[in-house]
Amino acid sequence: GVSKAQHLQEQRAQLPIAQGLEALVREIAAHDVTIILGETGSGKTTQIPQYLLECGAFPGVIAVTQPRRVAATSLAARVSQEQGRPLGTLVGYAVRFDERTGAETRVKYLTDGMLVREMMSDPMLERYGVIVVDEAHERTLRTDLVLASLKKILRARNGEESGKGKARAHNPLKVVVMSATLDAEKFSKFFDNAPVLYVKGRQHPVSIYHTSTSQVDYVDAALRTFFQIHVDQPPGDVLIFLPGQEDIESLESSIKSYANQLPSNSVGVTLCPLYASLPNAQQSRVFTPTPEGTRKCILATNIAETSITIPGVKYVIDTGKQKEKRHLARMTGSGFDTLLTTDITKSSAMQRAGRAGREGPGFCFRLYTEEAFDAMALSSEPEVRRSSLTSALLQLRCIGHDLETLDFMDNPDAEAVGAALRTLWILDALDETKRLTKLGRSIAAFPLEPQLAAILLASVEHHCTADVISILSLMSASAPLFPDSSAQRDAASEARTKFRHPSGDHWTMLNVFRAYDEVCGSESKGGRRDWCKRNFVNERALREAGDIRTQLRIVCDRANINKEISCGQDESPVLKSLVRGLLQHTALLQPDGTYKQAMGPSIIKIHPGSFLTEKRSPAIVYNELVYTTHIYARGVSAVSKSFISDFPKRVTSGRAGS
């Protein structure tokens, strides 16, 4: 009602940024590029776009990029609420596999990856009047691509010299770069000494405690620390930083069961998980006021470090861990990025502690020693230096930019670029002279890694697109279809036997999905859940894969691909398609029973969790390698050797072009 709208407007007016907004907007209007450095929670991300909109001086759509999809969707929801309009009308969002915008959308929160994707059809980003690159300090690969491209776009749209150019340009572009850490100078230098504006927050002192010895099990340490706070300390919500979803779910269930054992007159615990793939409806729970007589406990990944500010937090528990994207086989080009649990940086540790002092003095409990803090790196290496460049390189080619010549904040290393070029050449996305092929353009149209998109396109030729889309959707889901249930391993493998296919894991996954589709046709929600429980398969993975499949089908329609064709029970068309995209993920049997990569040096074994029973198949194709005591291939199917030798040139020759 009216009072709620009023309340929101009062909240807006009280944010630290409110006093300085007019000055900020004046600066943005006066320069092509403005760098804004601000303390987290001051109101940059929610208020600046609204102010640019409300002042009426900036035609076109205002884009606000975010490295993470949860941030994009939840900020869009908040800002459309503040505007008093339904989400997807004036204010909307666009993330991979999900978009809510309309013809009247003027403020659009989107992932940096989506903006790169939009450049493929609109290289000058003409529909946008302002591009706000938020969370630039995170230096994701896509943020770096956006920054490098914007430099080129600014020159084209605003003219060579900004002063003269501005008078002539009919559709000038404004760029605002926002960062939460003290690296503003680097952004300013990159954009020809663009002005840097500082936004002060309201930071109260935070007392920081370290452990005296290092902790072996950080989830267990977090559990104990939480209950010490909960039992002994005055009211105030608790924010726990954990590396990823699995740890969050495991801590959530331990806290739940311990909380049940507390005396019945004690304060209750309201648990709020927060991580990337959390469904939209559950995300908003962290913002609902803490119920009377309970303490809220937020279990978050580093999403809560700077991108999302949760009110009411007085205590922070920092495990000192995060998940970081790494490309393990970067120099050979094969393989996809893996998320590894690593130590955080000093800069992250300070941000995490800061979250405790937003509304009053707070406390931060670090589950690591002071020596460990001293040993942390100052800040992390930009992603362009450590992740796969294959898909980025292809996207840039489609926009008409060259990864090799574009001006980057930090240049990618030549060897990684070479590896990416080679992979794209193997896929026939680039020709012998490194030029983009027609196939390459088709591959780039899919919101998938190029290798996976190549599989999808090969499935058209082999008449099995419906089946391949299902498999690719499961491969793209963030949750595993077969979770490790060490407690009931025998029961699980018994229950899963009926899905098992002799060719291995891909077809086994497809059998599960087909069976689930049938269950969906006949059963209620509860019935589906029971079915998944009984069969030890992860329903969340299937639901997520279902959503992804819907999106891939839409892209197929747009590309005039018949998405309904199935190969029935004949597995070889599917396996042939898989090999086409995953040639660098194929291996040949050695006399000693191990496998050697067909296009690489590694000796690998089949992962013990694989459904492939025939461990001596002449050739295999796999999803990924796991590096433990051995190198294991995971997600494995047996294939005919001839599927691989159909591409003799690829298997025997060296690097592309170079």
Residue nearest to Mg ion (CB): 45
> How near is the Cβ of 102 to Mg ion at its closest, in Å?
24
Q: Which CB, 41 or 418, lies closer to Mg ion?
A: 41
Q: How far is the CB of 71 from ligand ADP (least distance, A)?
A: 9
Binder of residue 287, out of ligand ADP, Mg ion, none (CB less than 5 to 8 A by kind)? ligand ADP
Are 199 and 40 spatial neighbours (Cβ–Cβ below 8 Å)?
no
* Tokens matching residue 50: 């609204």
The answer to the question of residue 45 lying near ligand ADP (CB under 6 A) is yes
Q: Which does 38 bind (CB under 5 to 8 A by kind): ligand ADP, Mg ion, none?
A: ligand ADP
Q: Does 322 bind Mg ion (CB under 5 A)?
A: no
Strand partners of residue 340: 324
Q: Tell me if 225 contacts ligand ADP by CB under 6 A.
A: no
What's the rounded Cα separation, in Å, for the pair 658 and 645? Answer: 24
Instruction: Examine residue 15 and tell whether it contacts ligand ADP (CB under 6 A).
Output: yes
Q: Assess 309 for contact with ligand ADP (CB under 6 A).
A: yes
What angle in degrees, to the nearest 10, is found between the helix axes of 539-558 and 505-522? 90
73 touching ligand ADP, by CB under 6 A: no
**Does residue 227 bind ligand ADP (CB under 6 A)?**
no
Q: Which stretch binds ligand ADP (CB under 6 A): 42-50, 61-69, 116-124, 315-323?
A: 42-50
Binds 309, which of Mg ion, ligand ADP, none (CB < 5 to 8 A, cut-off by type)?
Answer: ligand ADP
**Burial of residue 423, with CB atoms counted within 10 A of its CB: 0-12 exposed, 13-18 middle, 19 or more buried:** buried
Task: Give CA angle at 15 (289, 114), nearest 5°.
Answer: 80
What Å distances lie between residue 622 and 148, 481, 497, CA to CA? 35, 16, 20
Q: Please, which residue, 44 or 117, has the CB nearer to Mg ion?
A: 44
Q: How far is the CB of 23 from ligand ADP (least distance, A)?
A: 16
Tokens standing for residue 182: 């003290």
Nearer Cβ to ligand ADP (73/338): 73
Stretch that binds Mg ion, among 43-51, 228-236, 260-268, 322-330 (CB under 5 A): 43-51
Helices (H), 169-286: 184-190, 218-232, 245-259, 280-283
- What is the nearest approach in angstroms of ligand ADP to the Cβ of residue 240? 18
Verify binding: residue 46, ligand ADP, rule CB under 6 A. Answer: yes
41 near ligand ADP, judged by CB under 6 A? yes
Q: Give me the least distance between CB of 16 and ligand ADP, in Å please.
A: 8
Sign of CA dihedral 71, 407, 325, 620: positive
Q: Quick one: 44 or 496, whose CB is closer to Mg ion?
A: 44
Q: Pick from 42, 388, 476, 623: which binds ligand ADP (CB under 6 A)?
A: 42
Check binding of 66 to Mg ion (CB under 5 A).
no
Q: Between residues 15 and 206, which has the closer beta carbon with respect to ligand ADP?
A: 15
291 DSSP 8-state letter: P
Site for Mg ion in 93-112 (CB under 5 A): none
**CB atoms near residue 135 (< 10 Å):** 25
Return the number of the residue (44 or 106) whose C-beta is nearest Mg ion: 44
Task: Please report, for the chain, how many H helices and E strands are present, in that order.
Answer: 25, 21
Per CB under 6 A, the segment of 37-45, 346-354, 423-431, 625-633 that binds ligand ADP is 37-45
Alpha carbon separation from 162 to 31, 33, 52, 188 (Å, rounded): 8, 10, 20, 15
Residue 230 C-beta: closest distance to ligand ADP, Å: 23
Contact residue for ligand ADP among 227, 287, 536, 647 (CB under 6 A): 287
Q: Which is nearer to Mg ion, 45 or 623 (CB)?
A: 45
Instruction: Using the CB atoms, write b or e for 299-336: b if 16+ within 10 Å.
Output: bbbbbbbbbbbbebbbbbbbbbbbbbeebbbbebbbbb
Q: Considering only CA atoms, which of 278, 276, 300, 298 is closest in space to residue 288?
A: 298
Please tell me whether residue 43 binds ligand ADP under the rule CB under 6 A: yes
Could you say whether residue 351 binds ligand ADP (CB under 6 A)? no
Beta-ladder partners of 338:
326
Place of tokens 């450049």: 119
**Number of residues forming the site for ligand ADP (CB under 6 A):** 17
What's at 608, amino acid-wise? Answer: P
Gap between the Cα atoms of 27 and 195, Å rounded: 8
Q: How far is the CB of 303 from Mg ion (least distance, A)?
A: 11
Should residue 302 be labelled a site residue for Mg ion when binding is judged by CB under 5 A?
Answer: no
- Considering only 44, 106, 117, 496, the residue that binds ligand ADP (CB under 6 A) is 44
Residue 288 CB, nearest approach to ligand ADP (Å): 9
| DSSP label of 265 | T
45 part of the interface to Mg ion, by CB under 5 A: yes
- What are all long-range contacts of 290-295, with beta carbons under 8 Å and residues at least 24 apart? 290/237, 293/267, 293/268, 294/267, 294/268, 294/269, 294/270, 295/230, 295/235, 295/236, 295/237, 295/238, 295/267, 295/268, 295/269, 295/270
CB 446 within 8 A of CB 357: no
- Of residues 21, 28, 38, 173, which one binds ligand ADP by CB under 6 A? 38
440 binds, among Mg ion, ligand ADP, none (CB under 5 to 8 A by kind): none
Judged by the rule CB under 5 A, the positions of this chain that interact with Mg ion are 44-45
Judged by the rule CB under 6 A, the positions of this chain that interact with ligand ADP are 15, 38, 40-47, 74-75, 77-78, 287, 309, 311
